[in-house]
Structure 1
Amino acid sequence: MDTNEISFENLPKAVAHLVKEIAEIKLLIQNVQVYESKEKSIPIGIEQASRLIGKAKPTIYALVRQRKIPCYKYGKKLYFFEEELLEWISKGKKKTIQEIESEVLKYNDNQKK
């Protein structure tokens, strides 16, 4: 549809055209997001996992034995997913003194109620 043709009489046709175009754009964006999420879920080996989390391979093997790190085993090889390793790292966050103090204050307030 040509933008020069838009007038009050053909406004419904122009809106219908825009709705169709938006639906096509949404479909393209959804396809790109699905492709990107599939791309991110490629397993990595122990070498890449070691570099990603900054630990030596023997340390990673020890963490796997203790079941402290998310991993997958197929045959004799270990596999990891980058997202899971990054999430595992973020769960080990040490709280700051301010965070601990605010939790103590919240706890005390709740106990007083």
Structure 2
Amino acid sequence: MDSNEISFENLPRAVVHLANEIAEIKFLVERKETTTIPPKRIPIDIEAACELIGKAKPTVYTLVRTRKIPCYKNGKKLYFFEDELLEWISQGKKKTLQEIQSEADANFKKNFRKSNGEFNQNSQR
């Protein structure tokens, strides 16, 4: 309905039209998921990186030179992101004896089934 068509005679139709429009807008707003704003990634310097990972500066420089640690270089300065350093630390996790034992058991069962199936096929020939 155009704004030109609103008159005293068609006022009830205009109100119904506006009510429908408001209901549609309300539906769209309610349906829209809340957007999460990702936190800003603020780079840290080498001193903060050393403190975060618990290593001395020369050790961090060696890790950077051998490309074992994620870093960024702008000019002569090194920059790091905290989340990347924490991910780097978590990738070096050592497995517990229980984890190693459960993996070994799973591999043994899997290989036992395979070899047992091959044995059965060979014995049928």
Please, what TM-score do these two structures have when normalized by structure 2?
A: 0.65
Is 1:83 aligned to residue 83 of structure 2? yes
Query: For residues 51 and 24 of structure 2, what CA distance do their matches in structure 1 show?
Result: 52
Larger C-alpha radius of gyration, 1 or 2?
A: 2
Q: Write out aligned runs for 1:1-113 (5 A).
A: 19-23=27-31, 26=33, 29-30=34-35, 33-34=36-37, 36-37=38-39, 39=40, 41-113=41-113
Residue 95 of structure 2 aligns to a residue whose secondary structure is coil
Q: CA deviation at 1:54?
A: 1.1
List structure 1 runs of 4+ shifted beyond 4 angstroms.
13-18
Q: CA deviation at 1:19?
A: 2.6
Unpaired runs of 5+ residues, structure 1, are: 1-12
Query: For residues 78 and 18 of structure 1, what CA distance do their matches in structure 2 show?
Result: 50
Give CA deviations for 1:53-103 in whole Å, capped at 9, x if unaligned. 111111100111111101111111111111110100000001000000001
RMSD between superposed Cα atoms in Å: 2.1
Query: For residues 50 and 103 of structure 1, what CA distance do their matches in structure 2 show?
Result: 35
Unpaired runs of 5+ residues, structure 2, are: 1-19, 114-125
Query: For residues 31 and 54 of structure 2, what CA distance do their matches in structure 1 show?
Result: 44
Seq. identity, %: 54
Q: Pick the structure with more helix per residue.
A: 1
Count residues with an aligned counterpart. Answer: 94
